Each structure stands twice: as C-alpha cells, then as structure tokens.
Amino acid sequence: MSPSAPRLALFLLAVPLAPALATAWLHPRRPDWQALVSGSAPANAHELSLADVRARAPDALWIDARPAANFAAGSVPGALSLHQDDWETGFTALVDAWDGARPLVVYCGSADCRASAEVAERLRRDLGDARVYVLRGGWEAWKAAQGGGVSR
C-alpha cells in the first residue's frame, strides 16, 4: 500500500468527527449524555409488570407499539396504535384521546422487542412530564394473564 494510504485513511476517519461533535452537542434529538455518562439512563426504570400496572396505573391509557397488522389482529382493549414508522398519525390520535393526566403504558410483542421502550422514550420527550411506562413482557405477558388470548 502506498505511503499516502494511511494518511488518506486517517483523513476519512477524522473528517466526520467535527460534524459528529456538533451533532452530539447541538442536535435537538441528541442522546442524553449526562444520563449516559452517569449511568442513570433509564433502561428499565419505567418498566412495569402487568400486576404493577394494575396496582399503580389502573386508569392507564394503553399504547400498542407493534406494527399496525399485529394491532389489528388483537390488542389490549382500548389501546391506541402508535408505531415508530407512522408516528404522526398515531401521535395525533393519542393527543386527541389523552387527557394529559392518565399514565401511559406502552407495550410491544414480547420481552425481546424494543419498540415499546423506543416509543416510551419518544413520548417522554414529546409529552414532557407525562408518566410513561413500558409493560414488561409486552403483548405475550398480557395474553398469558388473560389465559391465552384477548383481542377485540
């Protein structure tokens, strides 16, 4: 490899650093660095079991973060569909239905999915001081608690 290749490689790796730093510092949707550095980023801090939801947020408004097809096939009664890829539609419906005081509980397919955590994080950001929780175990946990299947 020619002597200039390492310099070109370093150049290509270094060029993105300046805009990346600007993004990290100024972007309105930048990560929460303070929480990340301190280790207090809420990974599961807002996750509740179904029993906890019933005890602590019995009047919760349920948010279904699964794809629309899964929502149509069956969901928690009264839940609103809010998927990341059709955020505007779902968010408008949520704002129309939500009184601003009820806690929000978001769920996705199972314990392995992350859509509910992502939607919850985005809701906290967009709705300010809303109480937003994630249902541990998601739709599978709900179905199991209902004895195999609840749909509407």
Partner 1 sequence: MTQGRVLSLSRRLALAVVAGLLAWAGAAKLGDPSRFAADIANYRLVPPLLAAMAAVYLPWLEIALATGLLVPRLRAVARLFALGLLLVFCAALASAWARGLDIRCGCFGGADGGASAAQALARNAVLATLLFWGGARSVRLSSRGLTQINSRDAKG
Residues of this chain that interact with partner 1 (CB under 8 A) are 1-2, 4-5, 8-9, 11-13, 15-17, 19-21, 23-24, 27, 29-33, 36-37, 41, 43, 67, 84-85, 109-110, 112-115, 117-118, 121-122, 125
Enumerate residues 6+ apart whose C-beta is below 8 A from 138: 107, 108, 109, 110, 111, 113, 116
CA 32-33-38 angle, 5° bins: 110
Nearer to partner 1, 30 or 54 (CB): 30
Among 48, 50, 122, residue whose Cα is nearest residue 90? 122
Nearer to partner 1, 13 or 101 (CB): 13
Both tokens of 5, joined, read 């290749």
Distance CA 30, CA 146 (A): 40
Question: Smallest gap, in angstroms, from Cβ of residue 132 to partner 1?
Answer: 15
Length of the chain, please? 152
DSSP string, 126-143: HHSS--EEEETTHHHHHH
Q: How far is the CB of 81 from partner 1 (least distance, A)?
A: 15
Task: Considering the complex, state which of residue 37 and residue 101 has its C-beta at the smaller distance from partner 1.
Answer: 37
Is the Cβ of residue 20 or residue 55 nearer to partner 1 in the bound state? 20
Shortest Å distance, C-beta 91 to partner 1: 14
Nearest approach, Cβ of 147 to partner 1 (angstroms)?
A: 24
Q: Which of residues 12 and 101 has its CB atom nearest to partner 1 in the complex? A: 12
Cα 69 from Cα 87, distance rounded (Å): 15
Smallest gap from Cβ 103 to partner 1, in A, equals: 22
